[in-house]
């Protein structure tokens, strides 16, 4: 029996970043990451062309979707806002949208996250922020 996470993971970005991050996460994990999809906005692609592809990645099984985006305010973000508005009117999967994705967040979401409720998402954001660390040697030289 195949593993089925209680939610889908969709990573969306400008360019091929989303696909590269999922590929790297798969390499680290050592196994394919079930129920995960990368959706990459191509150069010159319109928002009207992108958002249907994004929506298709959510699947049709009604499970919640964890949508990890590259940056707030960009086209993938605007598409997610359009879809959230559509789902508020017409129904659709529950969306948990987080901007500023990094590889640590993807690993946390595939290895530790059990739901997309408010506490789980807060934990995911904290894990992602915890991955941003200045490890340069300049602190040791400056006495800090």
Digit-by-digit pLDDT tens for the chain (144 residues) are 456 789 999 999 999 999 999 999 999 999 889 899 999 999 999 999 999 999 999 999 999 999 999 999 999 999 999 999 999 999 999 999 999 999 999 999 999 999 999 999 999 999 999 999 998 876 556 565
> So what's the pLDDT on residue 4?
77
Residues of 114-128 as b/e, b for ≥16 C-beta within 10 angstroms?
eebeeebbeebeebb
Query: Structural domains in the chain?
Result: 8-142 (3.40.50.510)
pLDDT for 143 equals 60
Collapsing DSSP states into helix, strand and coil, what is residue 68? strand
Q: Please state, in angstroms and rounded to a whole number, the distance separating the CA atoms of residues 57 and 120.
A: 22
């Amino acid at each position: 029996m195949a593993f089925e996470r209680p939610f889908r993971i969709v990573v969306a970005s400008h360019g091929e970043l989303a696909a590269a991050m999922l590929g790297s996460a798969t390499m680290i994990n050592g196994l394919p990451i079930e129920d995960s999809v990368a959706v990459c906005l191509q150069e010159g692609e319109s928002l009207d062309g992108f958002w249907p592809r994004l929506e298709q990645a959510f699947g049709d099984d009604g499970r919640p979707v964890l949508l990890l985006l590259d940056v707030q305010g960009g086209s993938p973000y605007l598409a997610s806002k359009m879809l959230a508005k559509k789902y508020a009117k017409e129904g659709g999967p529950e969306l948990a949208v987080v901007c500023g994705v990094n590889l640590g967040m993807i690993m946390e979401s595939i290895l530790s996250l059990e739901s997309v409720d408010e506490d789980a998402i807060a934990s995911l954001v904290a894990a992602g922020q915890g991955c941003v660390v200045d490890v340069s040697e300049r602190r040791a030289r400056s006495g800090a």
